[in-house]
């Protein structure tokens, strides 16, 4: 099993591709990372103070980051039609890769300049209004992995895989490349998105319709967050997997009439199963054709559930913290009445998931009779062999100085611990763990800076 490096989920907002103003990296710093001892300190103010502790990790990415600029600011767009969705970097911090919905760009971190980009994914590219949506990205073993949605008309969800060595110049078009851009079709989000759940709101293809309140198992609106890491509760040195988070519908009637969309869902895939039969050159026809071939579909080996309350569009950025094993879920915040509104949740990497019965609305306490009847009827579609199935429910880490409460939530009928806090800066569009308490975090419309965190995931900017 090859060792993973690190992932980042989106880094910079609005604007799109990048050309940094600075050309010379800052002088090297000897400032070490946070140990568990220093992480317990109460950092105050906007700027982190110095600390003298040994590193807990061997990768040393934080050291390289301190040798580079502490702040990157983007300038140009490189042809994208939308805002930033995700970012990752190689394990040497030589190049960052930026996803902008329809373009992937490659940035030289020593100069801050874009040296390559691949486009051709967006609306109108294939003679259809739907196009594709390239979301969060992650780096693994020389490849850049990105969540790729085709909601119209194919209703398919892929992980697109770019070869770092194939991105050689600015303005490359995916459709014209003979190699270097592959993809694998993910089975679970595709069938969950399509599932009408007996609601009767379907398109001509018989599938649930995008953005409609009916259907969509677990409220699945597609996929976004992606990372690589160990399963929660597994010991250090255990094998690592590709993890892909669902987008979850959560506005309007989704926050009042649905009780099966209160989990964040993480599908776990074995990257060793990315064989040539499943991972092969991506063409837009694969996204437009609704046919679901079992030969090309990759099935999850595990499904992790995280009870947070409904978060509009689910996990935007999924980030594995290598030196703790924790998994960060960066969201737009919980949306339902009586929920805390937290936007950052941390899955406790030291705790194995608990086996429990899925709650899809069967125990909801709803006063509106019509809504209650619809919720109870829909929940029956989750039953398997006349029983509600057991799920693997992850434990949220109890964050100090943050929201933490264990109770029955609203009308859901679910008794659970929710602990969360405010996501730092603009981290819905970018957060990346360097280990030792150091992070790159998007902090402006076009910018990203170096931060340090405390044990409760409070973040402070590093300016020196």
What are phi and psi for residue 66, nearest 5 degrees? -70, -20
Tokens of 283: 């063409």
Q: Which of 27-36, 98-107, 236-245 has the highest mean pLDDT?
A: 236-245
Tokens of 136: 């969060």
Give me the chain's average pLDDT, please.
Answer: 84
Q: What is the pLDDT of residue 124?
A: 63
- Residue 268 located in a structural domain: yes
- Residue 1 located in a structural domain: no
- Residue 3 located in a structural domain: no
Judge contact between 445 and 15, C-beta under 8 A: yes
Is the pLDDT at 14 greater than 60? The verdict is no
Comparison of pLDDT for 161 and 42, the residue scoring more: 161
Is the pLDDT at 128 greater than 50? The verdict is yes
Is the pLDDT at 17 greater than 60? The verdict is no
Query: pLDDT digit string (tens) for 214-253?
Result: 999 999 999 999 999 999 999 989 999 999 999 999 999 9
- Chain-centre distance of CA 291, in angstroms? 26
| Confidence at 70, pLDDT banded by 50, 70, 90 | confident
Q: What is the pLDDT of residue 41?
A: 33
Domain count, the chain: 1
Residue written as token pair 């090297």: 28
Show the domain range for 323: 8-461
Is the pLDDT at 76 greater than 70? The verdict is no
Q: What is the pLDDT of residue 293?
A: 85
Q: Which helix (H) or strand (E) holds 63?
A: helix 61-67
Q: Which helix (H) or strand (E) holds 171?
A: none
Alpha-carbon separation of residue 160 from 134, 287, 303 (angstroms): 8, 11, 20
Tokens of 392: 């693997």
Is the pLDDT at 79 greater than 90? The verdict is no
Q: What is the pLDDT of residue 107?
A: 86
- Residue 345 located in a structural domain: yes
Is the pLDDT at 2 greater than 50? The verdict is no
Q: What is the mean pLDDT of residues 204-218?
A: 93
Query: pLDDT digit string (tens) for 277-323?
Result: 899 998 888 888 888 988 889 999 999 999 999 999 999 999 999 88
Judge contact between 92 and 108, C-beta under 8 A: no
Bridge partners of 222, per DSSP, are: 247
- Residue 2 located in a structural domain: no
- Determine the Cα–Cα distance for residues 229 and 352; give it in Å rounded to an integer: 14
Q: Which helix (H) or strand (E) holds 369?
A: helix 369-379
Q: What is the pLDDT of residue 74?
A: 64
Q: What is the pLDDT of residue 447?
A: 76
Q: What is the pLDDT of residue 129?
A: 63
Name, in order, each residue with C-beta under 8 angstroms of 150's C-beta and a sequence gap of 6 or more.
130, 132, 133, 156, 157, 158, 287, 288
- Determine the Cα–Cα distance for residues 344 and 349; give it in Å rounded to an integer: 15
Query: pLDDT digit string (tens) for 378-391?
Result: 999 999 999 999 99
- Residue 176 located in a structural domain: yes
Query: pLDDT digit string (tens) for 444-462?
Result: 766 778 899 988 999 999 9
Q: What is the mean pLDDT of residues 54-61?
A: 49
Q: What is the mean pLDDT of residues 415-421?
A: 96
Q: Which helix (H) or strand (E) holds 310?
A: none
Q: What is the mean pLDDT of residues 260-278?
A: 95
Q: What is the pLDDT of residue 113?
A: 86
- Determine the Cα–Cα distance for residues 290 and 282; give it in Å rounded to an integer: 15
Query: pLDDT digit string (tens) for 150-159?
Result: 888 889 999 9
Q: What is the mean pLDDT of residues 394-402?
A: 94
- Determine the Cα–Cα distance for residues 234 and 246; give it in Å rounded to an integer: 23
Bridge partners of 182, per DSSP, are: 161, 281
Query: pLDDT digit string (tens) for 349-361?
Result: 999 999 999 999 9
Q: How much of the chain, in percent, has pLDDT values that exceed 90?
A: 59
Going along 90-215, which residue ranges are E strands?
95-99, 104-108, 113-119, 133-140, 143-150, 156-163, 172-173, 181-186
> What pTM was computed for the model?
0.87
Q: What is the pLDDT of residue 85?
A: 86
Q: What is the pLDDT of residue 13?
A: 34
Is the pLDDT at 58 greater than 60? The verdict is no
């Amino acid at each position: 099993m090859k060792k993973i490096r690190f992932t980042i989920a989106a880094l910079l907002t609005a604007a799109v591709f990048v050309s940094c103003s600075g050309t010379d990296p800052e002088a090297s710093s000897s400032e070490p990372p946070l140990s568990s001892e220093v992480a317990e300190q109460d950092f105050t103010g906007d700027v982190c103070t110095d600390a003298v502790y040994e590193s807990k990790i061997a990768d040393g990415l934080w050291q390289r980051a301190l040798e580079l600029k502490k702040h990157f600011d983007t300038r140009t767009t490189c042809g994208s039609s939308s805002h930033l969705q995700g970012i990752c970097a190689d394990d040497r911090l030589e190049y960052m890769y930026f996803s902008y919905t329809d373009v992937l760009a490659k940035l030289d971190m020593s100069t801050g300049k874009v040296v390559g980009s691949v486009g051709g994914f967006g609306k109108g590219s294939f003679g259809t209004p739907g196009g594709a949506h390239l979301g969060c990205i992650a780096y693994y073993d020389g490849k850049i992995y990105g969540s790729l949605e085709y909601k119209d008309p194919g209703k398919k969800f892929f992980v697109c895989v770019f070869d770092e060595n194939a991105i050689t110049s600015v303005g490359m078009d995916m459709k014209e490349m003979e190699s270097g851009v592959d993809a694998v079709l993910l089975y679970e989000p595709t069938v969950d998105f399509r599932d009408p759940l007996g609601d009767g709101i379907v398109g001509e293809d018989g599938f649930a319709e995008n953005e409609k309140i009916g259907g969509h198992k677990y409220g699945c609106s597609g996929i976004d967050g992606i990372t690589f890491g160990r399963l929660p509760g597994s010991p250090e040195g255990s094998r690592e997997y590709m993890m892909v988070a669902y987008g979850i519908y959560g506005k309007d009637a989704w926050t009042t009439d649905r009780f099966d969309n209160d989990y964040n869902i993480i599908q776990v895939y074995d990257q060793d199963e990315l064989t040539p039969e499943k991972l092969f050159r991506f063409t837009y026809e694969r996204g437009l054709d609704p046919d679901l071939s079992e030969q090309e579909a990759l099935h999850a080996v595990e499904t992790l559930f995280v009870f947070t309350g409904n978060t509009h569009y689910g996990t935007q950025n999924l980030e594995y913290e290598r030196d703790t094993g924790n998994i960060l879920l960066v969201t737009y915040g919980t949306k339902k009445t009586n929920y805390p509104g937290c936007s950052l949740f941390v899955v406790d990497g030291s705790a194995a998931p608990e086996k429990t019965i899925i709650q899809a609305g069967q125990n909801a306490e709803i006063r509106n009779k019509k809504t209650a009847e619809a919720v109870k009827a829909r929940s029956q579609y989750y039953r398997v062999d006349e029983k509600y199935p057991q799920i693997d429910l992850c434990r949220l880490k109890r964050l100090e100085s943050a929201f933490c409460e264990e109770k029955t939530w609203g009308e859901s009928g679910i008794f659970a611990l929710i602990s969360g806090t405010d996501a730092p800066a603009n981290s819905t569009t970018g957060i990346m763990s360097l280990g030792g308490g150091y992070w790159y975090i998007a902090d402006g419309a076009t910018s990203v800076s170096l931060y340090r965190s405390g044990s409760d995931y409070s973040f402070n900017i590093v300016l020196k």
